[in-house]
């Protein structure tokens, strides 16, 4: 079986994008941010940004969050300034040693980079 790994990566990245139609905090999961960070950093040289842009558009329309996706900067800032999100991240790191050394703001930066392709 021949799998196009680039297509898989783009759709995995958008699957992890933590925005749903009901708002940014509702579905927050620290692991999603970690996974998004790792996938992007491991495969950024192989990502086809046209495929990723199409995947973001299709998925966000399906989720009912297309308009919200264009507010990624504001949403990223909400995540950065949230004590609740920061505490959730810290708890995730303390329970998962493989995350040690990755700051939450680094994962938000990846989220912003993905948002910029819109």
pLDDT of residue 102: 95
Q: What angle do CA 71, 23, 100 make, to 5 degrees?
A: 85
Buried residues in 32-66 as b, exposed as e (16+ CB within 10 A): bbbbbbbbbeebeeebeeebbeebbeebbeebebb
Give the largest CA-CA distance in the chain.
46
Range of the domain at 102: 5-115
pTM across the whole model:
0.75
> What's the total number of domains in the chain?
1
The DSSP call for residue 24 is S
Along the 118 residues of the chain, how does pLDDT read in single tens digits? 443 444 466 656 655 555 444 444 445 678 888 988 998 999 889 888 898 888 888 888 887 877 777 888 888 888 888 888 888 899 999 999 999 999 999 999 998 888 888 7
């Amino acid at each position: 079986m021949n799998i196009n790994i680039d297509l898989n990566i783009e759709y995995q990245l958008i699957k992890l994008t933590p925005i749903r139609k009901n708002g940014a905090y509702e579905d927050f999961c620290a692991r999603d941010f970690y996974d998004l960070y790792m996938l992007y950093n491991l495969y950024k040289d192989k990502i086809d940004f046209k495929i990723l842009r199409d995947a973001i558009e299709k998925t966000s329309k399906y989720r009912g969050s297309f308009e919200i996706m264009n507010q990624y900067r504001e949403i990223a800032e909400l995540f950065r300034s949230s004590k609740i999100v920061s505490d959730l991240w810290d708890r995730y790191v303390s329970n998962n040693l493989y995350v040690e050394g990755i700051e939450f703001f680094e994962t938000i930066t990846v989220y912003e980079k993905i948002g910029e392709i819109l």
